[in-house]
Chain A
């Protein structure tokens, strides 16, 4: 039986009108304490109404890399206050995992008015956002039917689990990695699904840097290690905005700064919050030109004899003509390239680099001398520098600085990669194995919908097969906003999704009516993490591993269900119920994983119940900050890298071969050396005649990507705004606070201008993650940067080059 949409909030499951009124009150502002004339220390404060009858530990599970502890006060089943870790003495190494402003606004997130309330089915055109309410049985029956039909007709490879990181870090309900989620377990019970590789965060560095360092994730020294450094150089690394947790990396830098003597330099187009507060100097740079800066620095280092020749000789290949791999013509070594003796005949002088990067010659020369003489020197890069059309080369180039100066594998040095964290062992929810081995880059799913079987290994980066067997016909989108919002070119992506003859079914499971949810065929309300038991291990802190135990704080709101129960429901309907559940309920699985974890970490409390009472389990790093690649550095022959030569490959023969074998589009560059590659929509593209400004999209305190993007408090304290330099604003008559139109060939965004000297002339930044809100004319009113970004992938990783965009801006 179908129910009609109701304007009244649904009342069921014990969530009655009385509670609803209290919830409204919780949001509307009951002042808990009336303090008139009452003095602490004299007599008790009387509350107008006690605000809590219990306090429950929970967590903030979003994709910032950090993980924070929350303490939720609950009164009559309603969250009335959200505090954070207050345990212990807060001494570093046993410090409080203090949540940032986002976690602290959790109350306004879970009770947001756009919370999804009951299962719905699309009526009207896909993407129009018109739905009708259905029952859970109708929803699960319908999804199971369509899923079964899709598998029969197009095969398991036509089913795709879209990238989503809205619920990240918990053990059972996590939405990322997609292959470790309850949805993956469901699909693995049903014959598998099309895999994905790479991430929207770090596709290029993840793919490219191993060509220099050998297979596997390339680690960095811990940030706490900067206490041992003389100089720290961050390329676009901005922990003050990306990993804001008071238990995590920003705290690590502050602590290290108090104890250490390192001078900190930040290289970034924006004067970031890391640069304002934690750095000694900011060097602005044009987006996408980091590799050119490195070349200019290398020129000075080589010509002024500031390189560590001993380290280079022992540990690298490709630096000079004598150490080149076989089969590569002469003139392709790094030294030849830098000194102008290579194919292009261009010496990469500081003057050459200055013209490209916008950094004065004097500063480039000085910086090379500073880096060359500081022992040790910590160089790291945030992931912004690789989220570029030439991102693969940018990130490899930055790692050249520690390689040239011998700062790899030493205390206080680094690999040029982003910092590592200290973690503790913890068990995982078992998801079984995916029988399908084919995978695509997580950024190319729109292509896989449009031209699926045309996609090949050598042109599109298909793995596991030479060519896709079927286009994507069915999408699971759990706790993700990559359908339109966090993907690129929101307008084009909307068009692709709107055609339901291509991708036939889209199932969205989420908490809110996100821009992605509008494209659902079936739209299912999920519980928030405050409505279910779970735990969140590994918070990304240098010197302390921890687990946050998150007990159910309130009953599920409205008709929301856990993702586990939703998947179990579909599995049952397709005859895989027993395989899926193994006879366990969700609660039993949480307990199961907890007990498995105790085998690896016996210090954990004996029962989950006790762990929930404990809240946060912390363990200090018992040793010195870890130094990756130390064994290799000390004994390169005894501990070779997992690269073909066993050494650091300044020149990668593998990449040289790929460059010759793959089909690359015009303007795409893959090279054996970490060269500077001028790129489409880069600083020197002739397209600048029409669209003269480079646009990037920085991480913003208001949101974690798009999560928390709908929270009123956060919008108020950190509104969406376009950063523009006074010189660019002045030329266009744009004043601070004015409405502006930002546009290129792909679309139009209206937003508010923040006219500030904190961004370089010629560069704009529109903070990423704001929710796409197209008006009747199609122009976005929400400030979503991805209206302006391109679907064209990066050359090697086929990743998202989301900071490579040319645009124009004018007064609206």
Chain B
């Protein structure tokens, strides 16, 4: 039984195709405006014209696919006034709909905006690691979907042993806030966390 489930994300393989998002939407039948997994496009750089009319540039761009990270220090759980948001013994952070009143405190607290408000139900919803799939011995929908194999699921320590420690990249928040169970391998374009050289290119999509 997994104790500390984690996602591994390989930025060197992610082409921003968003198949993970659609697989998650299909699996969870997500209504409009509710996204458990989101692909953020981050880019920056300058263009300069040279004397010959040609262009020099230092443009960079990359994608990050992030869902709930089932953090070791889940702010959503701490900020939930009803104890609906909880972390179970398998490390999955989830919402008890019998208790949730849809106040959205968890959403505001989470630096990843992982808990999502379902207006139709008046409740919060979020990634539950596809716990039914895990129970059947299958990987989460997003992981099984990834055409470039950029996502992996496993025990945190195993993933670190396999891929090394997580690299901290913009625009993800400082991991010391929540200690996310997300391990990221950066690619050549990656900017360090806290860098303001780039901007999120697709705010309307995430």
On A, residues with C-beta under 8 Å from B are 28-42, 44-45, 47, 81-84, 86, 90, 98-101, 104-105, 107, 240-241, 244-246, 250-251, 254, 257, 271, 273-274, 276-278, 280, 282, 284, 351, 354-355, 357-361, 701, 712-714, 716-719, 725-727, 737, 754, 756-758, 760-761
Contacts and interface: CB of A to CB of B under 8 A. Distances in A.
Given A98-B146, A758-B61, A39 B88 contact: yes
Interface in B28-65: 28-32, 39, 43-47, 49-50, 52-57, 59, 61-63
B149 A246 contact: yes
B17 A244 contact: yes
B147 A250 contact: yes
A33 B132 CA distance: 8
Interface stretch (B92-100, B164-172, B174-182): B92-100
A104 B19 contact: yes
A760 B55 contact: yes
A744 to B, nearest CB: 23
A725 B28 CA distance: 37
Contacts of B59: 271, 282, 757-758
Interface string B138-152: 100100111111000
A361 B144 contact: no
Interface in B99-124: 120
Contacts of A90: 149
A757 B44 contact: yes
Contacts, number: 200
B85 to A, nearest CB: 12
Given A35-B131, A86-B138, A357 B54 contact: yes
Contact of B22 (A241, A714, A725): A714
Given A34-B97, A41-B134, A45-B132, 16 more contacts: A35-B128, A39-B92, A81-B27, A83-B26, A86-B138, A101-B21, A246-B19, A257-B12, A273-B63, A277-B12, A360-B52, A713-B22, A717-B22, A717-B39, A727-B47, A760-B55
B155 to A, nearest CB: 13
Contacts of B160: none
18 contacts: A32-B29, A44-B135, A45-B131, A86-B138, A254-B13, A274-B15, A276-B15, A276-B61, A276-B62, A277-B16, A277-B187, A360-B50, A360-B55, A717-B21, A756-B201, A757-B44, A757-B57, A757-B61
B23 A40 contact: no
A752 to B, nearest CB: 9
Contact of B90 (A40, A241, A761): A40
Contact of A725 (B44, B47, B205): B47
Contacts of B201: 754, 756, 758
Given A105-B22, A276-B189, A355-B54, A41 B135 contact: yes
Contacts of B19: 98-101, 104, 244, 246
B52 A756 contact: no
Contacts of A31: 28-29
Given A31-B29, A756-B43, A758-B59, A278 B15 contact: yes
B96 A36 contact: yes
Contact of B134 (A40, A241, A757): A40
Given A250-B148, A354-B54, A713-B22, A276 B17 contact: no
B132 A355 contact: no
Given A104-B23, A276-B189, A29 B53 contact: no
B19 to A, nearest CB: 4
Interface residues of B, number: 70
Contacts of B27: 81
Contacts of A82: 26
Contact of A757 (B1, B26, B43): B43
A326 B146 CA distance: 57
A754 B44 CA distance: 13
A355 B53 contact: yes
B25 A713 contact: yes
A261 to B, nearest CB: 15
Nearest to B13: A254
B57 A284 contact: yes
Nearest to A247: B147
Contacts of A257: 12
B162 interface: no
Contacts of A84: 144-145
A244 to B, nearest CB: 5
Contacts of A360: 50, 52, 54-56
B52 A280 contact: no
A546 to B, nearest CB: 15
B52 A355 contact: yes
Contacts of A358: 53-55
A81 B26 contact: yes
B183 interface: no
Given A107-B26, A271-B61, A760-B55, A40 B15 contact: no
B188 to A, nearest CB: 7
A101 B22 contact: yes
Contacts of A717: 18, 21-22, 39, 205
A358 B188 CA distance: 24
B54 A251 contact: no
Nearest to A350: B52
B14 interface: yes
B52 A277 contact: no
Nearest to A761: B47
A719 B204 contact: yes
A47 B133 CA distance: 12
Contacts of A274: 15
Contacts of A701: 16-18
B55 A761 contact: yes
Nearest to A257: B12
A325 B94 CA distance: 76
A626 B157 CA distance: 41
Contact of B55 (A100, A278, A284, A718): A284
B63 A276 contact: yes
A47 B135 contact: no
A688 to B, nearest CB: 13
B30 A29 contact: yes
Contacts of A251: 147-149
Contacts of A361: 52, 54
Contacts of A756: 43, 201
A45 B43 CA distance: 41
A45 B31 CA distance: 22
A38 B90 CA distance: 10
Contacts of A45: 131-132, 135
A245 B135 contact: no
Nearest to A711: B22
Nearest to B23: A104
Contacts of B50: 360
A244 B205 contact: no
B47 A276 contact: no
B55 A39 contact: no
B176 to A, nearest CB: 28
A82 B15 CA distance: 22
Contacts of A727: 47
B74 to A, nearest CB: 17
Contacts of A42: 1
B147 A757 contact: no
Contact of B62 (A47, A105, A277, A725): A277
B131 to A, nearest CB: 5
Contact of B89 (A39, A98, A241, A246): A39
A107 B25 CA distance: 11
B79 to A, nearest CB: 20
A737 B204 contact: yes
Given A35-B128, A45-B135, A758-B59, A246 B14 contact: no
Contacts of A245: 147
A737 B16 CA distance: 19
